[in-house]
Amino acid sequence: MADSVFIEGLVVETVVGVYDWEREVTQSLVIDLEMAWDNRVPGRSDDVADALDYATVSRRIGTCLKELRPKLLEHGAEVLAGVLQAEFGVIWLRLAIRKPGAVPGAKAVGVCIERGSR
Ligand SMILES: Nc1nc2c(c(=O)[nH]1)N=C([C@H](O)[C@@H](O)CO)CN2
């Protein structure tokens, strides 16, 4: 399945990081996500119930990361991938989490994972 639904540049404010000072503040994470989805069905029906609703997914990403308060970006990415697969039936996804300003001189640092198969 070559079709997909994507979310680009979703900003989530949460507690994240491995250092003590990072557990006392919130920081911005930027999420880029592509999820395999058969868009022929909603393409025919014009019904959001047949679609992978990117608004609902975006809200779920926010609540997940705010509750999780991960130390590592890797942990945030792994848990998010599991939620998307279990709750939304996503069979394949590519997910990047960026942490802007975390490393002096770098625009952003982050991780990218791919889970499942198309
Ligand atoms: N591979 C990773 N390396 C680092 C992470 C991370 O989440 N994954 N996190 C940190 C610190 O929290 C850093 O962002 C503070 O500036 C260091 N390395």
Q: Containing domain of residue 43, as a range?
A: 4-116
Q: How far apart are CA 9 and CA 11, in angstroms?
A: 6
pLDDT above 90 for 86:
yes
Going from the C-alpha of 16 to that of each of 27, 41, 52, 81, 110, the distances in angstroms are 7, 38, 28, 17, 12
C-alpha 82 to ligand 1 mean position (Å): 21
The verdict on the CB of residue 77 being under 6 Å from ligand 1 is no
71, two tokens: 């130390």
Q: Is the pLDDT of residue 65 over 90?
A: yes
pLDDT at 31 exceeding the cut of 80 = yes
**CATH code (residue 77):** 3.30.1130.10
Give the whole-angstrom CA distance, residue 101 versus residue 64: 22
Report how many domains make up the chain: 1
Task: Give ipTM to 2 decimals.
Answer: 0.97
Looking at every residue in the chain, the average pLDDT score rounds to: 98
pLDDT of residue 51: 98
11 lines ligand 1 (CB under 6 A): no
Cα 96 to ligand 1 centroid, rounded to whole Å: 14
pLDDT of residue 1: 74
Query: Of 73, 75, 80, which is best to mutate to test ligand 1, by the most ligand atoms within 8 angstroms of its C-beta?
Result: 73
112 C-alpha to center of ligand 1: Å? Answer: 14
Q: What percent of the chain has pLDDT over 90?
A: 98
Neighbours of 12 (CB within 10 A): 20
pLDDT of residue 118: 86
Tell me which residue has tokens 């590592």.
72
